[in-house]
Amino acid sequence: MNRRSLLLGSAAVAATWPAGWACAAVPKPYDWAANPPLDNRDGYLAWMAANRAETGRFVGQRFERLLELIKHQDVWEDRHKRAFLLTPREEFVTAKNRERAYQVHYLDIGFGVTITGPHTVLRMTNTLDIQRTDKVLEIGTGSGYQSAVLANLTDKVFSIEIIKPLFERTGALYERLIADGYAEFKAITRRNADGYYGWAENAPFDKIIVTCGIDHVPPPLLQQLKPGGVMTIPVGPPGAMHVLKIVKEVAGDGTFKVARSDIYQGGIVNFVPLTKLEGEVVRGTHSN
């Protein structure tokens, strides 16, 4: 489905976050060294209430989903578990889907796009093995949830969204959450542009995550990836996409090649297609 064709649809316009939807102000400054309990539900709930002013069923659902993420081997590093537990996914879904925020499903956010399910978000993110010092580029800001997770792993997050109304809506959400004390989201630098071409002015990047599908790896993204850098990207035709881990290997003469692996060992995971500014789905004739 063409994402741009839905921009004026009533469903897309209606699927907004409700006015006045806000969490309690975060009582403590963000601290990279502060870690909630990862293996004790009651301890986690108490820590979140004291440190993030988050209480209620969504916090419990977040911890329960973490246990499922671990069980299915979608997250394995403690710092990535921490990022998941500190990110209020319920704030990034639309009003009609808030009760489903921690289900495995992809959920509609309007404009013909979805918020990716938590298992895929965390597997793609943990596959990148993001370090505190990494500069990370995201293609497809969407709801803003993926960027929010990234902002709990590094303070250098760059994100591109092609759909201007969605870009503006997510920006307003971030402004509200930052005002509520989620200072980590200040680390996210955003741009309304065509993600196929990356963000040359801020390149090179240690890691790149692409959250929309395409049938080839965009050459500009490979060029903007550092030597030894890693990218996760859904590649393939609609209905047959595979999420690939791409590692850029550079030779002494400056030439480079890529090493590929399938993070789902052949399993198909579908994403909305990457589109260009004029609204055409990007389809290549080759694979890099």
- pLDDT tens per residue, range 33-68: 999 999 999 999 999 999 999 999 999 999 999 999
- pLDDT tens per residue, range 159-201: 999 999 999 999 999 999 999 999 999 999 999 999 999 999 9
Mean pLDDT of the residues in the chain: 88
250: domain CATH number is 3.40.50.150
> What confidence category does residue 277 fall into, taking pLDDT thresholds of 50, 70 and 90?
low
Spatial separation of the C-alpha atoms in residues 141 and 164, rounded to whole Å: 11
Q: Hunting for tokens 């290549």 — which residue is that?
A: 284
> What confidence category does residue 12 fall into, taking pLDDT thresholds of 50, 70 and 90?
very low
Q: How many domains does the chain have?
A: 1
CA-CA-CA-CA torsion for 126, 129, 132, 136, nearest 10 degrees? -90
87 lies in some domain: no
State residue 23's pLDDT score: 55
Helices and strands in the chain: count of H runs, count of E runs: 8, 9
275 lies in some domain: no
3-state secondary structure of 32: coil
139 lies in some domain: yes
State residue 240's pLDDT score: 86
Burial of 161 (C-beta count, 10 Å sphere; 0-12/13-18/19+): buried
Range of the domain at 251: 4-20+104-262
50 lies in some domain: no
State residue 96's pLDDT score: 96
> What confidence category does residue 8 fall into, taking pLDDT thresholds of 50, 70 and 90?
very low
State residue 272's pLDDT score: 82
Neighbours of 119 (CB within 10 A): 17
71 lies in some domain: no
26 lies in some domain: no
Share of the chain above pLDDT 70, in %: 87
Angle CA(138)–CA(140)–CA(141) in degrees, nearest 5?
Answer: 80
CA-CA-CA-CA torsion for 117, 121, 123, 125, nearest 10 degrees? 180
- pLDDT tens per residue, range 207-217: 999 999 999 99
238 lies in some domain: yes
State residue 166's pLDDT score: 97
User: For the ranges 14-28, 54-68, 187-201, 260-274, which has the lowest average pLDDT?
Assistant: 14-28
CA neighbours closer than 13 Å in the CB half-sphere of residue 247: 10
- pLDDT tens per residue, range 111-153: 999 999 999 999 999 999 999 999 999 999 999 999 999 999 9
State residue 276's pLDDT score: 65
- Is the omega angle on the peptide bond into residue 204 within 30 degrees of 0, that is, cis? yes
184 lies in some domain: yes
Angle CA(114)–CA(118)–CA(121) in degrees, nearest 5?
Answer: 80
User: For the ranges 81-85, 126-130, 274-278, which has the lowest average pLDDT?
Assistant: 274-278
Burial of 226 (C-beta count, 10 Å sphere; 0-12/13-18/19+): middle
